[in-house]
Chains A and B, each alone.
Chain A
Amino acid sequence: MKKMESVEFSRYLSMLTLSVHVVFATVGVGVPLFIMIAHWLGLRRGDEQYLLMAKRWARGYVISVAVGVVTGTAIALQLALLWPKFMEMAGQVVALPLFMETFAFFFEAIFLGIYLYTWNRFKNPKHHFYLLIPVALGAGMSALFITSVNAFMNTPQGFALVDGKLTNIQPLLAMFNPAMPTKVAHVLTSAYMTAAFVLASIAAFHLLRGSRSSYHRKGLALTMKIGLVFSIATALVGDLSGKFLAEYQPEKLAAAEWHFETEGEAPLILFGTLTETNEVKYAIKIPYALSFLVHSNFSGEVKGLNDIPKENHPPLVIHYLFDAMVTIGIGLTVLSLAYVIGLRRNWRFIQNKLFRMLLVASGPLAMLAIQAGWWFTEVGRQPWILNGLMKTKDAATTSPHVWLMFIAFAVLYLILMIGTGVVLTRMFKKNPAELEMEKRGIAL
């Protein structure tokens, strides 16, 4: 009984830590690219406004990196504290990417520190700009390595299990497992996409509040254009991820789509609710669409949940998470497309209040989609911690105190979230871009 509770609380605590961490991690991976682009545009065009933009983004970015570092340290240690059996096994197979991730992280931390404290210290301003390359690269690489560990949990390979003992371990094969390419690509594109919308919503907020300076208009145009590119990329990779699921984790796709009978010409189910007898109500059904998604033809057979042993079914609620992620993703693609076309053709509607409110909402919505996506992928592989090999309940700690730690960490994260919010608003409210430009003598 005690063990059972530890499992539940270990799951909740991991979910809590990761949900907090992913907010800061996504910003951490995505934003350096934008600082880099703004800094480059500033140097290239001799436009002080872009340089200021890079500086201000970097200042806010540090706060989020700080919280990202501490929550990242938390999850790194919690993996061993909450899931000792899993880490013992994973340590033998995927220690390599875990180890490489810390190198990437180290690299990023060093160069970010240097970048922040060397404004105006180099004779050639380009040298200062070059410091951003290792920052952005390190951020991307650490996402790549850590995602490959997560991908390993979905499609474990690179070892043989003989009488409960691991043999014939191939670290590179474990790292480059089938789930890795789509997962890494989806994580990276969606992080850049989310960072774009987060920064765009800040700019849109200032425009909505009546800012007249060209600073925020430049910021909005820059981030929305890049946002559009990455939303399309995210959608394309998402489609590949769906095809991957159908092949390697049909139970996850079937649960996400509430697809019970194995059949060809399978419809795609959007929204709706599920009755206790597993009947789908109030849903929008798009005929043939699921078959098309999976096989790129309208009649391909898609495996249904009824053909999968009941004890291996993921929870059916993941359907809502999947829908939330996809709906927001498509909505933001349409929004950024409308903005970019509107900007090019000088349409007035991109300046109207309602549209700007939508732009303000885009950042938080993108973040919500990130959360929904991660919950979908993680809850969707229950009951497994190592798909097909180790059940979650067998991996958890035997300590009876997990509930206590859950409460302690919940309080901690609350403090961190509130603190971050307060500090960031104060930082930028007290020192708005217009004021800073005036002080530095930059044309508004």
Chain B
Amino acid sequence: MKILVPIKRVVDSNVKVRVMSDGSGVDASHLKMAINPFCEIAVEQAVRLKEAGVATEVVVVTVGGKPSQEQIRSAMALGADRGIQVEADDSLLPIDIAKCLAAVQQQEQAQLIILGKQSIDGDNNQTGQMLAALLDLPQACFASDVSISDNQLSVTREIDGGLQSLTMALPAIVTADLRLNEPRYAKLPDIMKAKRKPLDVLTLESIGVTLKSHQHLVSVSAPAVRQAGVMVSSVAELVEKLKHEAKVI
């Protein structure tokens, strides 16, 4: 079976972003970019299912500008077989991205689609669920364990208060939580090999998607800075301050 893995190019998770002084957005122009960490986990899961003989092909897809081809190459170095870039603006909302991915899935007819649970730039946590709705497929979000047998998908999900297990028929959609797996590092020979793997570039017109305007970004501001705190020298002083100064205990 075929697995489709949508990935996203985002600012590296260890970089602290700066809000632009005119309030128009976040300055990401000179920052280190990477595959969104949750997408990396999704790629890893797909590659593991291929190594286990469950999947035959892993296709990565991204919706974004030309530089996002770097992240497709990175995913192919991790074991994906081929890549698709849907050429689009980098500022698309999850609903727009989900529409593009739904159109790609119409062509690819994958049995399983694995996404990350959220991207660490927009922090939306929407795309997988929206894609499932558009395709009318069952979904298993925030997955920490995935297994497949007899065309049945079994998933353990992280929910408030603990874990939940679900089963559903394929095709289905899974979004990966942090604990699903530990992504591997790409090896140099695999990075070289990834350069020769096929990468198709599609346009919104070629997949028949027209987008409408859903949201207007009014402004982006920096969060309030916390007042500088004080260092205390002993536990007794700490308790004293909490009781009488902050009055929280």
Note whether A and B form a binding pair: no
Chain A residues near B (Cβ < 8 Å): none
